[in-house]
Structure 1
Amino acid sequence: MLKALARPFLRDRFLHLLLIIGAACCLAVPFRPGLWAAAIDWHTIITLAGLMMLTKGVELSGYFDVLGRRMVKRFGSERQLAMFMTSAAALLSTFLTNDVALFIIVPLTITLRKLCSVPVNRLIIFEALAVNAGSLLTPVGNPQNILLWGRSGLSFAAFTWQMAPLAGAMVASLLVLCWFCFPQKALYYHGHDRIHTWQPRLVYTSVALYVAFIVSLELKQEVWGLALIALGFIILARRILLKIDWSLLLVFMVMFIDIHLITQLPLAGDALHDVSQLSPGGLFALGIGLSQIISNVPATILLLNSIPASVLLAFAVNIGGFGLLPGSLANLIALRMANDRRIWVRFHYYSLPMLLWAVLVGYGLLLLLT
């Protein structure tokens, strides 16, 4: 059992890279490990852990198999299914946040691999891009928008209205790309005669625990909510806790620590001090570029210390979610759940062109708005 739990940590090359970066930074800044725990956003870690357990509970219940079979029967072609899944990912991300949307969509997509010949990796890539495009619309679509909304003083409707042109353009562009990337190829169902069983008790328990967890998050009692989920699965199906990719949590924790160490570098401190003097074009490029390196949520946190929450900053950090893998934590979540090394390179075949297009569209919209 211990060997099975340790295997993901030993095979995770991205985790190893983050550890190397952190070790290198420790050579250039004061070594203060006592401050590292404070650098971690524990609310994010706890929320992620709870969602990982809940979605794994539904996945192992077999319900996604049942739902997947119904979907395959409903959609006649690969293109129709891809358009639906991409649209659903974008829509869910507008009010469930991009991470939660992926925890619902990606396990269901993986189930489709057992039912038909749809290119699952390509579909997961489009879903990752879709949640980045859809989530930028509302103040609650992603963590960076939550931060920007709180600092901006705008109403929910006003913030959504200012983001609507970019969100609409990116979702529409992605659906057009999806149309061309998935052929009008008939879906052939592999298991028409199979009678599939699922575990309603595990599904209903997971849903009930999900509601309780959301309530605990709203009440700022996320630790108790996480404990309740863990206790529920220990009693009902402890195998779920052994099937989770716990190394993903360590990746996020090390990422927060690395960002903390990077901000302590003298060069980084001097650069951030001069941010407020940049031109609008310079700020736009900085927000996008910084997001590509350290992810758009930490980039937002850093930049808000120097510049106000504006539509320019909102556009920049949301556009920065496209492109390179670190641009958005949602990218990392989606590709890790795919559990296929080939997807890491293929993701950039689509995400980098989307980044270039988003930069052109976003900058053009900013010129029109100002």
Structure 2
Amino acid sequence: MKLVRYLFSRLSEDLLLLTLLLGLVILLLWMPEQLPQLPTLVEWHTIAILTGLMVLSRGLEDSGALTRAGHWLLEHMHTERQLALAMVVFAALLSAIVTNDVALFIVVPLTLSLGRALTLPTGRLIIFEALAVNAGSAVSPIGNPQNLYLWQLSGDSFVTFFILMLPIAGWMLMVVLLLTTLSFSSRKITVNTDLAKAPLSQSLLLISLLGYPLFLIWVELGQMAWALVAVLGLFLLFWRNVLLGVDWLILLIFVLMFVVLGLLAQLPVMAGLTQTLMALPGEELTAGVLLSQVISNVPAAIFLSAFSEDWYRLAWGVNVGGFGLAIGSMANLIALRLGKQPGLWWQFHLWSLPTLLFSLLGAYLFLPWLG
């Protein structure tokens, strides 16, 4: 009975999860023949990667290292604006190297640790970190799933893709930094507790840090199953409390996202909508931005690639489309889910929608760069 009450409480607090469940029921009533195909709509590879990264990031947080890192930041950043800009730049740079999702699994827990010790608008900072990883990852072929997919389709070199994405990524980051500067004050940081006294588990820190590159290398080598088994087995044997602290419900949310968005993409109206979007000014760029607001940017990239081979206009569109509505990017959903701040979803759109508008304006201005 306690478990039932707990699950009901969690479900009732999670608007996104309830929305996805309702959407799934409606779509299955509309197309019941798709029921046996539901497992094929899920990108299980992505779910497995997400699982491993969630465990490793929780291990990093529980090691106490993020609290120590927060103490170091406090010694060098003296105002809210300085701290916010440092975190935003760090998130953006990290996302270009280890992907936007991984960057958030590192940066958001650090932010939460800082929030427990400071008088700090933590929720707002998490919002800008989400925006930052969308901007920073846009420049790299491996920065996010949509770039990786379109880069492989293009057949171009890493450097070529980087150069052609640099103008829009640079503009997106500039917009985020400008809004960060405007939204955080120059008020001195007030410390409520002593971060230096936080215990540090060196063994857990070492395993968690080494786990990131080793896990991703195994994934790149096509050994996803063994990589996930190794991570889960290691923590199950030696740090079981880390596994208990992971927010496993987020995996259900992403499974439902793949299913619901996959079903939406199969509707005949979506093909007609795509043709209409492609006829708008900006063509693939505009289509990528608008469709991302409906089915998220990774599915939008996959869906639109069947209608056009202008890979870079598509890449610009779906990366800019990561701004705007929260569903525009899975990174947004991860940040908001990890943040667990009251009212964070509504606050996110107050900043993300203007970021989308300014970024889209710059995309149109820089579009001649693509030829």
TM range (shorter): over 0.9
Q: Does the aligned pair in 1 maintain the 2:277–2:287 contact within 8 Å?
A: no
Q: Structure 1 CA distance, aligned partners of 2:278 and 2:88?
A: 40
Instruction: Look up the match of 2:279.
Output: 278
| Partners of 2:70 and 2:195 within 8 A in 1 | no
User: Offset of 1:9 from its aligned partner?
Assistant: 4.2
* Structure 2: runs of 5 or more not aligned: none
Deviation at 1:343, TM superposition (A): 0.8
Q: TM-score, normalised by structure 2?
A: 0.94
Query: Of residues 139, 142, 165 in structure 1, which corresponds to 2:141?
Result: 139
Aligned to 1:336: 337
Distance, in Å, in 2 between the alignment partners of 1:287 and 1:102 is 23
Distance 2:279 2:121 in 1: 44
Q: Does 1:152 align with 2:141?
A: no
* Partner in structure 2 of residue 297 of structure 1: 298
Q: Does 1:255 align with 2:257?
A: yes
Q: Which runs of 4+ in 1 moved over 4 A?
A: 1-5
Match of 1:79 in 2: 81
Question: Which consecutive unaligned segments of at least 5 residues does structure 1 have?
Answer: none
Q: Is the 8 A contact 2:71 2:195 kept in 1?
A: no
Rate the CA distance shift 1:279–1:335 in 2: closer, same or farther, 3 A: closer
- Aligned twin of 2:316: 315
Contact kept? 1:275, 1:306, Cα under 8 Å: no
Shift in Å, 1:188: 2.5
Matching of residues 169-318 of structure 1 within 5 Å: 169-192=171-194, 195-272=197-274, 274=275, 278=279, 281-318=282-319
Identity of aligned residues (%): 40
Question: Per the alignment, in what secondary structure is the counterpart of residue 349 of structure 1?
Answer: helix
Alpha carbons 1:5, 1:242 under 8 Å: kept? no
CA distance in 2, matches of 1:54, 1:4: 29
Instruction: Say whether the 8 Å CA contact 2:278–2:284 is kept in structure 1.
Output: no
Q: Which moved more, 1:308-317 or 1:135-144?
A: 308-317
CA distance in structure 1 between the partners assigned to 2:51 and 2:195 by the alignment: 37
Supply the distance in 1 between the matched residues of 2:240 and 2:72 (Cα, whole angstroms).
Answer: 29
Shift of 1:2: 4.5
Map 1:35-74 → 2, pairs under 5 A: 35-74=37-76
Query: Are the equivalent residues in 1 in contact too, given 2:218–2:227 (CA < 8 A)?
Result: yes
Q: How far is 1:271 from its partner?
A: 4.0
Residue 309 (structure 1) shift? 3.9
Q: How many residues align?
A: 369
Q: 1:314 to 1:193 in 2, by over 3 A?
A: closer
Separation in 1 of the partners of 2:277 and 2:76?
Answer: 53
Instruction: Summarize the Cα distance change of 1:283–1:210 in structure 2 as closer, same or farther, 3 Å threshold.
Output: closer
Corresponding position of 1:102: 104
Equivalent residue of 1:27, what SS?
Answer: helix
What SS does structure 1 have at the residue aligned with 2:130? helix
Q: Which residue of 2 aligns with 1:162?
A: 164
- Look up the SS of the partner of 2:116 in the other structure: coil
8 Å contact from structure 2 (residues 68, 195) kept in 1: no
Aligned to 1:22: 24
Retained in 2: the 8 A contact 1:275–1:307?
no
Q: 2:120, 2:102 → 1: CA distance?
A: 23
Report the aligned-residue RMSD. 2.0
**Within 1, Cα distance between the matches of 2:195 and 2:285?**
56
Q: Secondary structure at the match of 2:92?
A: helix
The whole-number CA distance in structure 2 between the counterparts of 1:336 and 1:354 is 20
Contact 2:104 2:331 in 1 (8 A): yes
Alpha carbons of structure 1 residues 269 and 168: separation in structure 2 relative to 1, 3 Å: closer
| Distance in 2, Cα, partners of 1:351 & 1:207 | 31
User: What is the rounded CA distance, in whole Å, between the counterparts of 2:280 and 2:139 in structure 1?
Assistant: 25
Q: 2:112 is aligned with what amino acid?
A: I
**Equivalent residues of 2:91, 2:129 under 8 A apart:** yes
Check the 8 A contact 1:291/1:321 in 2, yes or no.
yes
Structure 2: distance between partners of 1:259 and 1:193:
43
Maintained 8 Å contact 1:116/1:187: yes
